[in-house]
Structure 1
Amino acid sequence: NVNISNIHEISKPSIPKESYERPSLKTLQRYVTKAKPENTKKNTRLWFSRFEEFVNDTQPDIDLLTLYDKKVIAMLLCEFIVIIKTREKKDYKANSLYNGICAINRCYQELFKDKEPFNIHEDFEFGAVRDTLHTRMIELEDINNGKYNGADALTDDEMVKIFEHPNMSNETPDGLLKRVFLWVGCCTAQRGGSYYNLMAEHFKERDDGGFDIITIHDKTHQGGYYHRPTSNQTLTHIIPPDESKECGACYDIKKYLNLRPKNAEKNFFLHINKDPKGNIIFIEICY
C-alpha cells in the first residue's frame, strides 16, 4: 500500500515518557489487508473480470486498467448492466446485479486512488449508470416475480419430532434455550443478526397469556436501485396463548424470562450461567 509506505517513511517518532516500538511496515500492511474479507476480494475480482470480458469482446481497443475517463466508463457500465447474464445465460437476481456493480466500484476506487475520488453511487458522471441500474433491477424483480429460493417450511410432524427430542427438553437450560430460539424463529421469521437485536423488553406478555414481540424489519421497498431499504420500522408479532400449559411457546418464553436475573444484559438471548448459589440463570450475551 503506497500511502501507508509513504506515511511510515516520513512520520517522525514521537518522544513519549515511555519508549514504544513502532510496528513494521509489513505488520501494518497485514492489518490493512486483513480488513477486507477474502470473499469480498474474490467477488470484486470476479465481477471486474466479467466487466473486462464484456469490454474486450465489444470494444477490444479499450483497456479498462488504463482508462481513467469517467464518462467512458459510465457508458460501458450502462451497456454492461443491460446485457450481462450468468454463465448459464440466465438473468441475475436484482440484488446480485447490484452487488456486482458495487464490486466493480470497489475495484475502480482502488485504481483511481492516486488520481481522484471515484464512486459510482455518488459521482455526477455516473447518473446514467444509476438510472440504468435502477430500471434493470426493477425488470429483474418483475422477471423473478417475487419468487425466492427460500427453505421449505417445517411440517407439523417435523416440529413435533424436534420439540420431543431429548436435547430439546425445557427441563434443561440448554434445551430451554434451544426451544426458545426455535419458537422465536418460527413465530417471527427472524434472520441472521436480527436475533442479536432482540431485547428482553421486546417481549410483552398479554393478559390472555400470549406474547407480543416487537421486532425491527426493513421497510418494504418499491424495487430497483433507488428504493433499496435504508431505514427500519417497528412491527409486532403476536404469539397466541398456549393450548397446553407445559409445552407451548408462551410457557417456554415465560420460563426463560423468569430465569433472567435483574442485572442480566438487555439482550434476549443469553448464555447459560450460574449464580453464586449454583442456580441456573441466563446472564451473558449469547453471540
Structure 2
Amino acid sequence: MQDNKDKRPCKKLKVNFTYKKPTDDELRNLIDSSRCKNTDYSTSNWIRALEKFRTDVNYQGLIEEVDTKEELEDQLCRFVHAMRKKDGSEYHVSSVNSCMFAINRHLNNKSVLSKPINIMDKDQYYKLWQILNGKVKSLVSQGRGERNGADGFTEDDLLQILDHPAMSGNDPA
C-alpha cells in the first residue's frame, strides 16, 4: 500500500521573470562569438585561392554567385585538379581536405544556392567526390599523404638525457 505522502499535490512556483524576444543584433553577436578566428582565417585564405583560380581561368563573378549545382560542381572539380601552392608544388592531403571544408563553410554562409550545401556528400556531388578521391590517391602516391607527427622519446633516449652531466644539478653552468 502506498503512503499518502506520495499523493501530495505539487506546489506551483511563482515566476516573476518575463522573457524578452532577442533582437537580430543580439542573435548575430551570439553567433559571432561562437566562431573560431582561425577557422575564419583558413576559410578566407582558401576562398582567396579559389577566386584567384576562377579569375585566372576567366570565370565571371564570385563562387557564391554560381546559381546551379552543376556549374558549382564543375568549377570545383576544375579547381581541385588545378590547385597548387604559390610555389607551384602540390598540397598535402590534409590541406586539400581543409580547403574543401572551408569552401563548404563559405558556400553555406554566402551562396545563392539553397542550403544546406554539402560538397563533401558523395551522393549530391559525385563527380567532385571522384575528382577528390583521384587527387588524394595521386597525392598519396607522390608521398604527400597524411603526415606523421614526431616520434616520442624512447626509454633509451630518456635515460640518455637524464644521465647527461647537465642534468645532474651539480654544475652551476
Could you say whether these structures have the same fold, taking a TM-score greater than 0.5 normalized by the shorter chain as the test?
Answer: yes
RMSD (Å), alpha carbons: 3.0
- Which residue in 1 is equivalent to 2:73? 74
8 Å contact from structure 1 (residues 70, 125) kept in 2: no
Cα pair distance change 1:162/1:128, threshold 3 Å? farther
Shift in CA distance, 38/163, structure 1 to aligned 2, threshold 3 Å: farther
Runs of 5+ consecutive residues of structure 2 not aligned to the other structure = 1-13, 169-173
Q: Quick one: structure 1 residues 123 and 91, their matched pair in 2 at CA, closer, same or farther if it must change by over 3 Å?
A: closer
TM-score using structure 1 length: 0.46
Aligned equivalents of 1:134, 1:146: Cα separation in 2: 12
Q: What is the TM-score with the length of structure 2 in the denominator? A: 0.72
What CA distance in whole angstroms lies between the structure 1 residues aligned with 2:115 and 2:149? 42
CA contact (8 A) 1:74 1:126 kept: yes
The one-letter code sitting in structure 1 at the alignment partner of 2:41 is: K
SS in 1 for 2:125: helix
* Relative contact order, higher structure (CA 8 A, sep 6+): 2
Gap runs ≥5 in structure 1 = 1-15, 167-287
State the match for 1:64 in structure 2. 63
After TM superposition, give the deviation of residue 153 of structure 1 in Å. 4.6
The offset of 1:95, in angstroms, is: 1.5
Partner of 1:118: 117
Is the Cα contact below 8 Å between 1:86 and 1:92 reproduced in 2?
yes
Query: Which structure has the highest strand share of the two?
Result: 1
- The equivalent of 1:20 in structure 2 is 18
Q: For residues 145 and 125 of structure 1, what CA distance do their matches in structure 2 show?
A: 27
Determine if contact 2:107/2:117 at 8 Å carries over to the other structure. Answer: yes
Q: Which amino acid aligns with 2:143?
A: N
User: Could you tell me how far apart the structure 2 residues matched to 1:40 and 1:95 are?
Assistant: 15
Partner deviation per Cα, 1:11-60 (whole Å, 9 max, x = no partner) = xxxxx932235355433322211222111111111111111110111024
Point out 4+ residue stretches in structure 1 off by more than 4 angstroms: 155-158, 162-166
Cα deviation code 1:185-240 (max 9, x no counterpart):
xxxxxxxxxxxxxxxxxxxxxxxxxxxxxxxxxxxxxxxxxxxxxxxxxxxxxxxx
Task: Check whether the contact 2:51–2:63 (CA below 8 A) recurs between aligned residues.
Answer: yes
- Say if 1:163 and 1:69 are closer, same or farther in 2 by CA, change over 3 A: farther
CA contact (8 A) 1:121 1:130 kept: yes
For residue 55 of structure 2, what is the amino acid of its counterpart? Answer: N
Overall identity of the aligned pairs, in %: 21
2:133 — aligned with what?
A: 134
Distance 1:34 1:163, change over 3 A: farther
1:115 Cα offset (Å):
3.5
Larger Rg: 2
Q: Aligned-pair distance for 1:146?
A: 5.5
Query: How far apart are the structure 2 equivalents of 1:25 and 1:129?
Result: 36
Structure 2 residue aligned with 1:103? 102
What residue number does 2:93 align with?
Answer: 94
Which structure carries more helix by proportion? 2
Aligned to 1:185: none
Given that residues 47 and 100 in structure 1 are in contact (C-alpha distance below 8 angstroms), is that contact kept between their aligned partners in structure 2?
yes
